[in-house]
Amino acid sequence: MKAFLTLLTALAVHSISLSGQNASGIKTSNLVGADLDLMNNHDPASQLENFELLPGYEVNLFAANPMFANPVHMVWDSRGRLWVACSWAYPQIKPGDVANDKIIILEDTDNDGVADKSTVFADGLYLPTGIELANGGCYVGQSPDVLFLKDTDGDDVADVRQLALTGFGIEDNHHSISAWRRGPGGWIYFQEGIFLHAQVETQYGVVRNFNGGVYQFNPRTQELRMFCRGTGGNPWGHVFDHWGQSFMVNNPRIMYLTPGTGSSNEPTRLPPLISTEKQCGGDIVTGTHLPEGIQGQLLTGRFKSRTVVRYEFIDDGAGFSANVLEPIIKSKHPNFRPVDVKIGPDGAIYIADWYNSIINHAQHDFRDPRRDHSHGRIWRITYKDRPLVKKPKLVGLPIPELVDHLKSPEAWTRHQTRKELSERNPDEVLAAVENWVQGLDPETDQYAHHLVEAMWACQNVERVSEPILSRVMSSKSGHARSAGARVIRYWHDELSDPIGMISQLAKDNFPRTRMEAVLSAGFIPQAEAVPAALMALDHERDKFIDVAIPSTLKGLRSHWEPAIEKGELDFARAGHREFAEQFAGIGIDKRLIALIGNPDPPRGEISAVKRQFVSTPSEKLVSLVVNAVGKNAVQSDAVSVELLDGLRIVGARTELEATREFSTLLPALAHSNDAVAVNAASSFGSWQVSSAGPQLLDLLRDGDRAPEVRRAAAIALGDLSQTKYTNMLKSLARVSDIATRYHALTGLVAGDLEEAKAMIGEVLTQEPLDADPVALVTEFTRIRRGDTVLAGLLENVAIHPEVKRSVSNYHRQTGQLPHRLVDLFSDSSEDSLSLALVSENREALAQDIDRFGDAEKGEMIFRRESLACINCHGIGSVGPSIGPNLVAVGTAASTSYMIESILEPNASIAEHYENMLFTMTDNSLHMGSIVYQDDNEVIIQDSALGQEVKLPVGNIRSKQSVPSLMPAGLADQLKSREEFLDLAKFLSVLGDPGPFQNDERPFIRKWRVASATGGHPPKDSESWKPAYSKINGELPSADLGLGAPVFAKGFVEVQTPGSIMLNINRLDGLELWVDGEEISDLEKPIELNEGRKELIFGLDPSKRSDLGLRVLLQPANGSPVKFRIEGGI
Amino acid sequence: MHARAIILILLSSSFFQTAGSAEPASPLLPGIRIAIVGNTFAEQLRSHGYLETLLLQHWQEEPVSIRNLGWAGDTLSIRDRPTNFPTEESTLRDHQTDVIIACFGMGESFEGEKGIENFKTDLKAFIASHRGKQYNGESDVRLILVSPIAYEDLGELTPRLEERNRELQLYTDAMRKVAANETVPFVDLYGPTSALMSVPDAIPLTTNGIHLSAYGYWVVSKILYDGFFESESAIGEQPWRINVDAKTNMSEAKGLSISGYSLDRREISFQATELANPSLPPPTQRNLPKALKARRDTMVIKNLQPGKYVLTVDGQRVTTASHEEWAAGVAIDSTPAHRAGEAYRNAINDKNLQFVYSWKALNQVHIVGERRNSPSGRALPEEILEFNALANQKDAALEGGIELKTREWRLIPDTN
C-alpha cells in the first residue's frame, strides 16, 4: 500500500513539474517506488548507501556541490590539486542565456581525503569538454576552440585568455574534442568522433579531419598533428600504459591505437580489442596504494549502468587483447553517472559523478525538465589495508632533485615530474637527465623503465639525447625497446643514423618493438627507411603489424616508389623487395599466376589480387583470368569465385572489349560449385558475350541446377541485350513452370523492363508452389526507383497469399523490403495488433508496460525465431551486429522510446545504424549502414549480402537515407497485447540493475547444440545449431531440445595458460570434453594451455528434466590463467 | 618622418590598385549590408570587434550591418561544413548582402610556389561565382579582397620564417594581380604587417606567428579600415588631438572643439565638444611603437609648471602624468566617451555572438545533419531562429553609435 501511495504522489508531483511539457521523454519506470525516492534524494549519504564495491575497497565523498557542479573532466596539477571542467550549459544554451561554464580547482589542504577549498579558475566558458595543464596554464577544449588560460598574479584566477587553436568540429558536442591527456612525451592528446568536420589553421599548415580521430598538440612548439584518423564513434577516453602505449575508450569499443598512428595520414580502420557498453573517461590503475591484482587495468565509467568497470590488457603479439572484469564500484542510485576516473596523488581512485537521472542528449530531450544544473560529486575509492601515498612536493624543486623523482614507483609522481620539467630550462634539464642516467644502477629491476622515463623527460623539453636512446635500445626489456623505437619518429632529424636504428629495431625479438620501428620509419622522409622497416618481415607478422606496414609504405610512397622503379633501392632480402613491389602494384601478373596455382591461398591475398585486378585491369590480366578459370587451372574454388567476380566488375566498368578468348570460359557455367557458375554467368552478362547465349539458355532451363544459378543465367541473358534472347526470356516467362517463369522474368528486368512490367502482376497472382518469388521481387528493387515502379504495377493486383507470405516473411527476417512495397505484400489483416497498439495512447501503454509487463516472459519472446529480433540484435558479447546491441538499452532509453522503436522503427534510428542506399556509377545499388568511411572508400554492412562491402568513393553516384532495416509490423507476430507488454518490459529493463543487468562475468553465452543420438559429438559443422544463453547466463532447456540427449559446445580463448574452475548451475547428467579429452571431475581445476579450446557438454535430460545449462569459468585459486569466452554469432 | 605618414606609405603601395587605371571607388556606402567571409583571420574579426566598431561608426546615423561568415581554416577551394549546413549563398541572401569582404590566402599559401596557379584559378572562380549575384534582391554584389598578414618571428614557435614569408608575399602578389585584372578592390595586409613586425620597438601582433592577438586586431583593423576608405577624400578615422600651451594660452584641437578656457600654469579647464568618435584604447599595457602612437587620442600640454598633473573629464579621473610627459603628449583613452566606445564594441561582439549561436550553433547534427530527425533535439531549430532574432535586435540597437557630448575637462596638480 505504501508503495502504491508513493507512486500516486510521484505521479502527481510529476505532472505538475511537467505542465506544458511533452511527457513522452519520461521513463515511467523511473517513477516507480524506491527509484523515485532515491532520484529525488540529493543527500550524498543516499548515494553512499547504495554503492557496492569489490572486497577490500571503501569509498568516501571527496567533493560535492555547491563547491562545483556538472563535472565533465578532471586533471591533477603537480601540487596535487584537482582541476574540474564543469558545464552548466550542457547540452546547449537557450536563447537569451549567457554561457558561464567554469573550471574549478578543488583542493584537499589538510590531506584528509576530502576537498576543503574550491576556486573558480575561469568562468564564462561554453561547454568545456576537456582540459590539460601546460606552459604554466591550462588548455581548454570547447569546440570549435582551444583556449589557453593562465593566471599570472598567483590568485589562481586566470587573467590571460588566448585562442590557441580553432576550427574543430561543432556537429555534436558530446563527442567534440575531449578526453584530454598529456602523453609521456609531453604532447597533449585529445579526440573527436563521428560526423565532425575539423579544419584548423596552424603555423605548420591546415590540419583537416573528418569523422573522428585523435589529435596531438605539442604545447612547446604549438604544432598540431593527427595522431590517428578514422576512429569515428564516441571517443571519450584515452590512456597511456606503463610503457606509453595508447588505448582509446571509443564507445562501445576499447581500441589499441598505436598500430593506427603511422605516417600515411590516412584513416585507419582499427579492429577493437573488445566491444561492450558505452563508457566515459578513464585511467590505468597504478601506484603503491592499490593492490597488485588490479595494477595496469583500465578503469572507465559506465554512465548508463552506473558502474566503474575494469579491463585487463594482455600482450598479444605486437598488440594486446582485452578482457572485461567485474566493476570496482556499482551503484543503484539513479543519479550516479561516472564520467571520469583518475588516480590521485594519494594513490586513491577519484571518480567524477555527473549526477543526473538522465544522460546524454540523443536519448533524452535537450530541454528535458529533469536535466540537472546544480549537482555534482567526486568520489574517492581507497583500499582499506594499504597505506596511502604521501603527496610529493615537486613545485619549486631544483632540477636534479626533480629528475630523481622519475624513479618514483608512483605513476602520478613521474607524470607530474615530467610536466614540471617541461617548464624548466631545456638545456639544464637535458644535462641533469643525462647525468642522472649515468648514475643509475643497471642491475635494478626498474632500470629499463628509468631509462624510458629519462628519454620521455628529454622529449618534454624538446631535446634529443642519443646516448639515452642508445641505452634504451640495448635494454633487456622489449617494452623499453618498443618505447625507444617510438621516439625515433620524433627525434630522427637529430639522430646520427636513424635508418640504422630502424633496421636494428625492426628485427627485434619483441613484436611490439618491430611494429613501433615500422611506424617510426614512416616519419623519416627517405627511401631507405622502407628497406629498414621491412626488416620486420623476417619475423612472423600479426594483425597489428599488418596495419602498421602499409601505413609506412603509403606515407613514404613519394620517396621509395621512384627509387625502386629506377632500381636504386637496396633491400636486405629478395623477399623484402618482392613485398615492396607487390605493394606498389609492380608484378601483379606474377601474383595472379601464383594465386591460380595455390590450392589454399590466404583470404587477404585473394582480395588483394582481386582489388588490384579491378583497379588496373588490362587485356593481359583479363585473358589470364578467363583462361585459368575456363581451363580449370585454378586450384581453389574460392579463387575462381573472386576472380570471376572481379571479371564481372571489370566488364561493367572498363572500355575493354570481350575477345574471342571468352569462349574458353564457357565450361565454367557447368561448374559443380554453384558460386563459380553464378559468377561465370554474371561475367558473360557484364561483358555482353553473346556467343554464350545458347549455354546460358540451357542453364536457365536446367531444372536440376540451383535456383540462384538459373537466375544468374537469366539475368546474364537479359544483360546481353539481344532481341533473340530477350524474346526467349519473354516466352519462358509466359509459359513455363512457375520457377522458370520467375527466373525468366527476373532476367527480363535487365533485358526488357517494359516487358517485365507487363507480366509481373499476372505472375504474382499465381501460386508459387515450391518456387520462391522473393528474388523476383527484390530484382525490381535493385534498379533505380524500382520500388516505386513495382508498387505502381501491383496497386490493383490480387497478389497470391502465398507470395505475400513469402515476401513478408523475407522482410521480417531481413528488413530489406523497400518501404513502398511493405504494405502491398503485407499478409496481416486489418485488425492487426500493430495497428491496434499504434492507435493506443502512448503514455497509457507505457504505464501498462511498466506495471503489467513480465520481463522474463519478454526475454523468451525476444528469443523467438519467428520474431526475428535475434537475427539482427546482439545482447552483450553474443549475437549479430546488424542492429544496435541492446545490452544496456533500458538504461538509456525511455519506455516510450521502446514502444516507438518496435511499432514505428523509422521514427527513431540509433546513431550508426541509419540505413543508406548507394547508387553506384554502374547503376548497381547497395544498401546498408555505414560502418566506416574516409575520403577514399565507404564500408557498409551490406544488408542484402550480410557482410561488409567496400564502396570506392569515386564510384558512388549518390547516396540517400532509406527507412530502417527493422521491419514495421513485427508486433503482428506476437500472440497478444500481453506479449507486447512483456517484450517491451524486457527491453525497458535491459541493463538496469537487477536480473537483467549487463553481467559480464565469463559465462559461456555462445553455444552450438547438436543431437546426441549418435552417441558421439558430430564432426561436421552442419549438425551443430547455434544457440545463445539468456541474460542470466543460462542456456534454456527450450534451446537444448526437450527429452533427447544433446551436446552443447562453447569456446574459450586462453591467452595465458593456467587452470580454471567451472561454476555450473547443476552437475547432474552432465559430461564434459575439452578439446576431445574427457574431464572426469567437473569440480576440480582444469588445466588449459594457450589457444582456442572447445568445451563439449553432454546432457542427459532424464537427469536434468527441464533445467537449462549455465556455465561460468573462473581462474582456479592462484592461477595466472587469462582467458576470454568466445562471443559473436 | 611622422608616424602616421609611415603607415600611409605602407598602405599606399598596396590597396585598391588597378593597373594604371583609376582606382575603383570603395563599394562601402552608408547603410549597406556587409558579409565577411574567409579564413581564421576573417572569422576572428568578430571576437574583437575593432574593425566593426570603426565601420559602424563611419556612418553613425546610417550604419552598415555586418555578418561574419568566416570559418576557421577556410580556403577558396576547401570549406568543410557540417552535413546539410545552409549554403553560403542562402546566408548571403538572408542577410541581403551588398558587399562581401573576402579574406583568403593563409591556408592556401602552405602549398608554396607550386600552388600559385591553382590559387589564381580558385580566386578567379570565386570572383566569378559571385559575379552578377543579387543577394540583396536589387543590385549586384560587390567584392573586396583582403590578403593574408605576414608571418611574425616568434622564435621556436615559428619555423621556416623566411620561406613562409616569401610564400605569403607570393600569394599576396597573386591576389593583387587577379584583383586588378578583375577590377575588384584589394587590401594588402601582408606589406603593412610585415613592416610593423620589423620595427625595432614592435609589440607582437600575433599569438603564434599567423593569428592576431587582441592587440594585433586593434592594429590591423586600423590598416584595413584605412585601406577601405583610402580612395575617399576624407580619411575616416581621425584620432583626437589637443594641443595646449600653458604659457602662450594657445590651444587647438582635432576631433573636438574647445571652448570656455580657464587656464593658468597650475590648472587648466575647458569644455570639449566631441566631434569625432573616440579612438578605442589598444589592448596592451606596453608602450606602442612610434608608428602607432599617433593612432591614439592624445593631448599635448607644453610649458606646465614642473610637477604631476591629473586629467579629469566630467569629474572622472582619466590619467596622471608629469609636466614633461604632458609636453611630449599623453594618450587619452579612458574618458567617459572612450568607455562608451568600449561598451559599444562589446555590444557589437555580443551581437556577433548571438549570430554565431544561431548560424553556427553547436550540435549541428541535431539541427540539419545526420540526427536532424532525432526527437531529442526538436527544440533546436526554433531556438536558432530565436538567436537570430536576438542578433537582429542587437544589430538594430547599434544604430546611432555612441552619444558624443560636451564635457568638462580639467587638468589639476596631482596631490596624491
* Element holding A680 (H helix, E strand): helix A674-686
CB contact under 8 A, B363 and A173: yes
End-to-end CA distance of chain A: 46
Peptide bond preceding A884: is omega within 30 degrees of 0, i.e. cis?
A: no
Phi–psi pair at A878, nearest 5 degrees? -120, 155
Name which of B42, B74, B35, B20 is nearest B224 in CA terms: B42
Q: How confident is the model at residue B20 (pLDDT cuts 50, 70, 90)?
A: very low
Residue B21 CA to its chain's centroid (Å):
28
Please give the order of strands across the beta sheet that includes A274-275. A234-240, A246-251, A253-256, A274-275
Contacts of A558 in chain B (CB under 8 A): none
Contacts of B75 in chain A (CB under 8 A): 206
pLDDT for position B311: 97
CB contact under 8 A, B369 and A195: yes
Helices (H), A461-602: 466-473, 478-491, 498-505, 511-521, 529-533, 545-555, 557-565, 574-583, 588-597
Residue A753 pLDDT exceeds 70: yes
pLDDT for position A1: 39
Q: What is the mean pLDDT of chain A?
A: 90
Cα separation, A156 vs A149, whole angstroms: 11
Tell me the torsion sign for CA atoms A59, A62, A65, A68.
negative
Residue A908 pLDDT exceeds 80: no
Name which of A899, A804, A770 is nearest A842 in CA terms: A899
Q: Which range has the worst mean pLDDT, A53-62, A423-432, B239-248, B333-342?
A: B239-248
CB contact under 8 A, A203 and B151: yes
Q: Tell me what ipTM this predicted complex has.
A: 0.94
Amino acid B2 reads H
B208 grid coordinates = 603564434
Which residue carries 560449385 as its cell? A673
Angstroms from A360 CA to nearest CA on chain B:
10
Angstroms from B363 CA to nearest CA on chain A:
4
Mean pLDDT score, A112-135: 97
Contacts of B104 in chain A (CB under 8 A): none
Mean pLDDT score, A421-428: 97
Residue A33 pLDDT exceeds 80: no
Residue B268 pLDDT exceeds 60: yes
Question: Do residues A676 and A640 lie in contact, with contact meaning Cβ atoms separated by under 8 Å?
Answer: yes
Mean pLDDT score, A324-348: 96
Cα separation, A82 vs A74, whole angstroms: 7
Mean pLDDT score, B390-397: 96
Angstroms from B106 CA to nearest CA on chain A:
8
Domains and CATH numbers, chain B: 3-229 (3.40.50.1110), 238-416 (no CATH)
A102 grid coordinates = 567554469
In sequence order, the 6+-apart residues with CB closer than 8 A to the CB of A705 are A674, A677, A699
Cα separation, A963 vs B404, whole angstroms: 63
Q: What are the tens digits of pLDDT across the range A955-1003?
A: 887 787 776 677 777 788 888 999 999 999 999 999 888 889 888 899 9
pLDDT for position A927: 79
Mean pLDDT score, B392-404: 94
Q: How confident is the model at residue A259 (pLDDT cuts 50, 70, 90)?
A: very high
Residue B13 pLDDT exceeds 50: no
Q: What are the tens digits of pLDDT across the range A1055-1113?
A: 899 999 999 999 998 999 999 899 999 999 999 999 999 999 999 888 887 889 999 99
CB contact under 8 A, A164 and B80: no
pLDDT for position A424: 97
A208 grid coordinates = 583537416
Name the residue in chain A with its Cα closest to that of B369: A171
B387 grid coordinates = 538567436
The angle subtended at Cα A825 by Cα A820 and Cα A826, nearest 5°, is 100
CB contact under 8 A, B40 and A167: yes
Q: Which residues pair with B101 in a beta bridge?
A: B36, B144
Angstroms from B319 CA to nearest CA on chain A:
23
The angle subtended at Cα A453 by Cα A448 and Cα A457, nearest 5°, is 150
CB contact under 8 A, A170 and B78: no
Name which of A1009, A991, A983 is nearest A901 in CA terms: A983
Q: Which range has the worst mean pLDDT, A31-35, A309-313, A957-961?
A: A31-35
Cα separation, A262 vs A251, whole angstroms: 22
Cα separation, A72 vs A126, whole angstroms: 12
Question: Do residues A1125 and A1002 lie in contact, with contact meaning Cβ atoms separated by under 8 Å?
Answer: yes
Q: What are the tens digits of pLDDT across the range A1017-1066?
A: 888 877 898 999 999 999 998 888 767 889 999 999 998 999 999 999 99
Contacts of B158 in chain A (CB under 8 A): 203
Nearest to B362 among A143, A367, A914 (CB): A143
pLDDT for position A1042: 66
Angstroms from A70 CA to nearest CA on chain B:
19
Cα separation, A356 vs A338, whole angstroms: 10
CB contact under 8 A, A202 and B362: no
Q: Which range has the worst mean pLDDT, A577-581, A639-643, A946-950, B71-75?
A: A946-950
Mean pLDDT score, A692-696: 94
Angstroms from A865 CA to nearest CA on chain B:
30
Residue with the bigger pLDDT between A551 and A942: it is: A551
pLDDT for position A34: 43
Contacts of A222 in chain B (CB under 8 A): 157, 208
Residue A290 Cα distances to A79, A286, A349, A350, A977, angstroms? 21, 7, 9, 13, 53
Question: Do residues A933 and A939 lie in contact, with contact meaning Cβ atoms separated by under 8 Å?
Answer: yes
CB contact under 8 A, B363 and A167: no
Q: What is the mean pLDDT of chain B?
A: 91
Residue A458 pLDDT exceeds 70: yes
Phi–psi pair at A496, nearest 5 degrees? -70, -35
Name the residue in chain A with its Cα closest to that of B208: A203
Question: Do residues A1086 and A1062 lie in contact, with contact meaning Cβ atoms separated by under 8 Å?
Answer: yes
CB contact under 8 A, A172 and B366: yes
Mean pLDDT score, A703-714: 94
Please give the order of strands across the beta sheet that includes A280-284. A51-53, A319-331, A307-316, A298-302, A280-284
Highest mean pLDDT out of A237-241, A302-306, A598-602, B2-6:
A237-241
Q: Which of A135, A171, A234, A897 to mutate to test the interface with B (most CBs of B within 10 A)?
A: A171
Name which of A506, A424, A433, A505 is nearest A464 in CA terms: A433
C-alpha neighbours within 13 Å on the C-beta side of residue A612: 20
How many other C-beta atoms are found inside a 10 Å radius of the C-beta of residue A395? 13
DSSP letter, residue B177: H
Q: What are the tens digits of pLDDT across the range A197-243?
A: 999 999 999 999 999 999 999 999 999 999 999 998 899 999 999 99
Cα separation, A902 vs A845, whole angstroms: 13
Q: Which range has the worst mean pLDDT, A301-305, A400-404, A545-549?
A: A301-305
Residue with the bigger pLDDT between A615 and B40: it is: B40
Question: Do residues B387 and B49 lie in contact, with contact meaning Cβ atoms separated by under 8 Å?
Answer: no
Contacts of B73 in chain A (CB under 8 A): 167, 198-201, 206, 208
Angstroms from B218 CA to nearest CA on chain A:
15
